[in-house]
Amino acid sequence: MKKQLRMTHQREIILKELQVAPFHPTADELFARIKTKLPRISLATVYRNLEILSEANLVKKIAISGRQKRFDWDIESHSHVYCIECQRVDNIIPNPKVDFDAISPNNIGYKISGCRIEYFGLCPNCERLTKK
């Protein structure tokens, strides 16, 4: 039997702040935004609730090689691009989509169900700053 996730006031605020964030924030960045609305909340509480929300598939945890995890309220499958200058993470729509059924298992028996490709470069703001 599946356990029902209780939607606490803190979790509601975390989800709302994640939805209005103009980027995919780290737990620390989200904590700074939430602290203005819930002054008594701790960073540990934000981390713990993000993990709980991620495990419940209500938010997506974004792991970029060697970087602090970021969080995304959009749980649908999509890719991300990482700015190598300011560390901002945004959604990106790669083209074309990969057909996982068409990928050969290379005689090792794997049935491919997904992949993670990391896109990186300069965001528009950092690109503009480097041209000055």
CA distance 5 to 21: 23
Which residues of the chain register pLDDT less than 50?
A: 1-2
The pLDDT value given to residue 33: 93
The CATH fold of domain 1-74:
Arc Repressor Mutant, subunit A (1.10.10)
CATH 1.10.10.10 residue ranges of the chain are: 1-74
Q: Which residue has the tokens 């074309």?
A: 96
For the stretch 58-91, pLDDT in tens is 999 988 777 788 898 888 878 888 898 988 888 8
- Cβ pair 123, 90 in contact under 8 A: yes
- Confidence (pTM): 0.72
The CATH fold of domain 77-132:
Dna Ligase; domain 1 (3.30.1490)
CATH 3.30.1490.190 residue ranges of the chain are: 77-132
